Amino acid sequence: MRCAILGGAGFLGQHIGRALAHAGWDVWCVDRAAPPPPGNAPWFAGALRADCFDLQSWWGAVAGVELIVHLASSTVPATASQDPMHDVQTNLLGTLRLLQDLRRQAARPRVLFASSGGAVYGRPQSVPLSETHPTLPISAYGATKLAIEHHLHIEEAQHGLPCRILRLSNPYGEWQPPHGVQGVIAVFAHRALHGLPLDVYGDGSVVRDFIYAADVGRAFAAAAHHAGPQRVFNVGGGAGHSVNDIIHSLERLLGHAVQRRVLPARPFDPPVNVLDIRRAREELRWQPTMALEDGLAQAVAWLRTVP
């Protein structure tokens, strides 16, 4: 059983790679970025530096792939908003090119796609958000994730490429870079560790769904073998936590108060976004196992090693 993780060198790729290796897969990392040093990610059977969307550049080198985990993305929500054409050109057209090239192969590997439970639904009409909630993305990032989902369904119906789509909430955990524009837990925890103030938009009551990245890894391992008719699964923590909750938990963990810098609330932040994960519980026989306080402690322990 061999699999390739496209975008495997990143934070999530490492967690998903570890979970798949644990489940018996021979896991290859394909990424245009350098792979983690082998000592840091011993679960990768091999790593290739290549353009994930250019099948020819890696398919031959990783022979016999039965599973493709598609995490490759050139954007985050903020950069996709700034340049929606670039988002479409790279991520949507790149995925279409990959699908087209896969049609020419005899093999029909299963594709697991990391979509966004925070972006494809848009403004929640009710929470928790189930997979049947209307999909009305309010960001370019969400529109592209959803268009890729639709093309994956079409590819399976018309060309027999099996797929499963995992709509992730907000993953966090060790290896999440704390200097990016994504990942509030990593950013907050790292700043708090260095005595820097935390930027809070509005009163901090905004509720989000956080999922420990190793739990995300186990969801992908489960989806690799899922046999039912469903194709789309929410993968979240199963509960909501406010930004203030996160800050209080951090304060408890660190043993001291942290400073906040209060900024105006952002009109495009829905007040609450929590995923309904019943389908994943029932169909994938998966559920998150890490309590937020414990996962935070793991993340903070790792962030202490990051300058």
Nearer to a copy of itself, 84 or 162 (CB): 84
- CB of residue 130 to a copy of itself, shortest distance in Å: 12
CA 208 to chain CA centroid, nearest Å = 15
Per rule CB under 8 A, is residue 97 in the interface with a copy of itself?
yes
Burial class (CB in 10 A: 0-12, 13-18, 19+), 38: exposed
Dihedral angle sign, alpha carbons of residues 83, 85, 89, 93 = positive
Nearer to a copy of itself, 97 or 108 (CB): 97
Q: What are phi and psi of 170, to 5 degrees?
A: -100, 100
One residue of 96, 196, 253, 272 binding a copy of itself per CB under 8 A:
96
CA distance 113 to 129: 19
CA distance 299 to 295: 6
Quick note: the x/- pattern for a copy of itself over 237-276, rule CB under 8 A, is: -------------------------------x--------
Binding to a copy of itself (CB under 8 A) within 72-91 occurs at: 81, 84-85, 88-89
CA distance 153 to 165: 9
Per rule CB under 8 A, is residue 137 in the interface with a copy of itself?
yes
Of 191, 197, 194, nearest to 178 by C-alpha is 191
- CB of residue 101 to a copy of itself, shortest distance in Å: 11
User: What is the contact surface with a copy of itself in residues (CB under 8 A)?
Assistant: 81, 84-85, 88-89, 92-93, 96-97, 100, 132, 134-140, 142-144, 146-147, 150-151, 153-154, 157-158, 268
